[in-house]
Amino acid sequence: MASCKAKCWLEVTVKVPLAMEHSLHADMAKVVPSLLWRKQRLLDEHCLLTSMVAMDTQVDRIISRIEEALRQVEQEYLLSEPLPVELHVFEADEPTGGWKQQVQARQISSRLSIGPPCQQGGVAKGQTALFIDPQDAFGDGNHPSTRLALRLLDELLGDEYGPANMIQGWVLDAGCGSGVLALAAAALGGFEALGVDLDPKAVAAARKNLRHNAGPGSKVSLALGDLSCARGPFCIVLANLVYPVHMKVYHTLWAAVAPGGWLILSGFCHSHKDSILSPYVREGASERAFSTDGAWAGALLHKLAS
C-alpha cells in the first residue's frame, strides 16, 4: 500500500450496531486521533463509521491501529462474529461515492492471495488467487483471524507438518461465513469441502463466492444449519469462530475430525489459548502449531490415527 501514489486515498467503513456506536467512535478517536470519522445511521439499527486515510507511508500503521481498536470492541462486547469492514481506494480528484477501484488482491500466505471480484488480475506469479465479496458475511481475508486460519491451512498443505498427499477426504468449514476457508482448501489442496453456517445471509454470500471462483467453487458444497448437519468424519476441520462459540462446540468439532485428521482453530485472542485448547488436549489432541496476529491467535491440532 505504501507504494501507492500520494493522490490516492483509502476509505475505511465499519458497520456497527447502534448500541456500540459511541464506544467504537471513542476508541477510534483515541487510537487514531488524526482521523475524522463520519457517522451514518441505517434503518436496520446499525451505523456506518467512515474515515479517509491517505495512501502514504503511514497507511499500514494506521490500518493496524484501526484493527486494534476493532478487536478491543469485539472482545468487550463478546460479539458472535467480527465487525464487518470495507476498504475502497479512490483518486483524490474523483467524486466521493464514485470509487474507481477496490483494494487490490492481497497476499495472505506464501501461496494464497485474496482480492475483490472486480480485481481479476494483478496476482503475483506462483500465487493462487481467490476473489471474495463478503457482503453481509464474514471472511474476506482482511481480518487477522481469517489470515491465521488461511496461513495455517497453507502451511499444512505445503508439507510443513508432514506429507500433504497423505491427507485424504473432505474438509469442513464450520461457520463458513463468506466461504473463503472452504474455497482455500479446494484451491490449495484440491479438496472437496463442505461449508456450514447458521446465517442464511452467510450461505447466500458464500454461494455467490463459489461462482466468483468457478474452479475451486465447483468442489464446495454449502449447508444452512448447525454443525450437526455436517456428516463426517473430515480430514481437515476449519473453525474460525469467536471465543464463546468455541467453548460451546468443541466436542462437536473434535468428533468431526477423522482419525489422523487435522483441526485448525482461530477467532480467539491468545490470552484464551489454554481454555480453548485444553478440552482437545484432554481428548488426546497434539498441538502442532500456534500462531498470533496482533491479539488474535490460531492453532493447528492433530488427531492420532486409531
**Residue 4: its pLDDT value, please?**
40
Burial class (CB in 10 A: 0-12, 13-18, 19+), 147: buried
Instruction: Enter the CATH code of domain 107-302.
Output: 3.40.50.150
**If you search the block for the grid coordinates 489454554, which residue do you land on?**
274
Sequence-separated (6 or more) residues with CB below 8 Å from residue 39: 21, 25, 47, 48, 49
**Residue 122: its pLDDT value, please?**
57
User: Partners of 223 in the beta sheet?
Assistant: 196
Sequence-separated (6 or more) residues with CB below 8 Å from residue 203: 176, 195, 197, 222, 223, 224
DSSP per residue, 184-231: HHHHHH---EEEEES-HHHHHHHHHHHHHTHHHHTTEEEEES-GGG--
Task: Give the DSSP H/E element, type plus range, for residue 292.
Answer: strand 286-293
26-44 per-position pLDDT tens digit:
888 777 777 778 888 877 7
Q: Which three cell numbers stand for residue 205?
A: 454470500
Q: Which CATH topology does 8-91 take? A: Alpha-Beta Plaits (3.30.70)
281-290 per-position pLDDT tens digit:
999 999 999 9
Strand duo 220-224 + 234-240: pairing: unpaired
Please list the residue range(s) of the chain that carry CATH number 3.30.70.100: 8-91
Task: Give the DSSP H/E element, type plus range, for residue 269.
Answer: strand 257-269
Task: Give the DSSP H/E element, type plus range, for residue 182.
Answer: helix 180-189
Are the CB atoms for 151 and 291 separated by under 8 Å?
yes
Share of the chain above pLDDT 70, in %: 86
The single-letter code of the amino acid at 147 is: R
Which of 189, 224, 188 is closest to 206 using CA atoms? Answer: 224
CA angle 25, 26, 28 (to 5 degrees): 65
pLDDT of residue 135 exceeding 80: no
Q: Which three cell numbers stand for residue 155?
A: 502451511
In angstroms, rounded to a whole number, what is the distance separating the alpha carbons of residues 250 and 68?
Answer: 27
Which of 138, 36, 133 is closest to 88 using CA atoms? Answer: 133
Q: What is the mean pLDDT of the chain?
A: 84
Q: If you average pLDDT over residues 257-281, what whole number do you get?
A: 94
Which position has the higher pLDDT, 123 or 237? 237
Which position has the higher pLDDT, 252 or 268? 252
Q: Which three cell numbers stand for residue 163?
A: 506429507
pLDDT of residue 119 exceeding 70: no
Which position has the higher pLDDT, 99 or 187? 187
In angstroms, rounded to a whole number, what is the distance separating the alpha carbons of residues 235 and 201?
Answer: 27
Strand, coil or helix: what is 259? Answer: strand
Please list the residue range(s) of the chain that carry CATH number 3.40.50.150: 107-302
Q: What is the pTM of this model?
A: 0.72
pLDDT of residue 299 exceeding 80: yes
